[in-house]
Amino acid sequence: LGLQIEVNLYATPPQTVGIDAHHDRMDVIILQISGTKRWLICDPIGAARDLPVRSSDTPGHALYNRYQLESLDYSNCKNVTMFTGDLLYLPRGTIHAPATEDSASVHLTVGLLSAYTWQDVAQALLMTQSINRNLYQKLVSCLSQRDLNKLVNSSVVVEDESTLLGAFLQLPFASDCAKALAKLRSCKHCSNATAALMLDVKRKRDAESPSAKFSV
């Protein structure tokens, strides 16, 4: 799948709130190692609906990812208790709040990240001067933020010179974007330069990213 993996281990004593209600910027798989933990899980709201790939801890920021419990619509929430050996998948943007009850808990959170989103592809087209800023702004305005935030399989970047651009052109652009798309289709060497830049960015990210984190 061409995904980056980030692993966190959490050890939590009994009767403890692990972290306030929040959403993550990555898909996560949770494996309960020992004990039990209760998870309040709610449907995305606000910016979380856009499959966020970035988040902020600053209140008032457009990408703020923390929530007061009293602000949640509990008709769109459920409680899930995880026991030893249980596995839970939370897509990006899913609001959740874990807490222990009578027993301590140890669980692993496996974060699934792609090196690229379609927003990254559009920015790489601009940075390699494959397109100018006016065309870039038109193209991204013709896509929803949710579509721009969707992950790109890394194999699309390296497969061949036409695959990346062809996949980008298959996104659900707004109908008034026909002229901008025609200009992009006329670019003969956009994919090569863009793919080379994105692969270089991926190598730098991989070198800087730790493979695991441990939290108590």
What is residue 212's predicted lDDT score, i.e. its pLDDT? 47
Cβ-based burial of 204 (10 A; exposed 0-12, middle 13-18, buried ≥19): exposed
Residue with tokens 């062809």: 166
Total Cβ atoms within 10 A of residue 101: 13
Question: pLDDT at residue 105 above 50?
Answer: yes
Q: Is the dihedral of CA 151, 156, 161, 166 positive or negative?
A: negative
For residue range 160-212, what is the model confidence (pLDDT) as tens digits? 556 778 888 899 999 999 999 998 888 777 767 676 776 666 666 556 554 44
How does DSSP classify residue 60?
T
What 3-state class would DSSP assign to 159?
coil
Percent of the chain with pLDDT over 90: 42
For residue range 41-77, what is the model confidence (pLDDT) as tens digits? 999 988 788 887 776 777 777 667 888 888 888 999 9
Are 181 and 122 a contacting pair, CB within 8 Å?
Answer: no
Average pLDDT value over all residues in the chain? 83
Are 184 and 132 a contacting pair, CB within 8 Å?
Answer: no
In whole angstroms, how far apart are CA 134 and each of 126, 139, 172, 177, 187? Answer: 10, 9, 20, 12, 15
Among 201, 171, 196, 182, smallest CA distance to 131 is for 182
More confident residue, 83 or 214: 83
**What is the rounded distance in angstroms from the CA atom of residue 142 to the CA atom of residue 84?**
46
What 3-state class would DSSP assign to 44?
coil
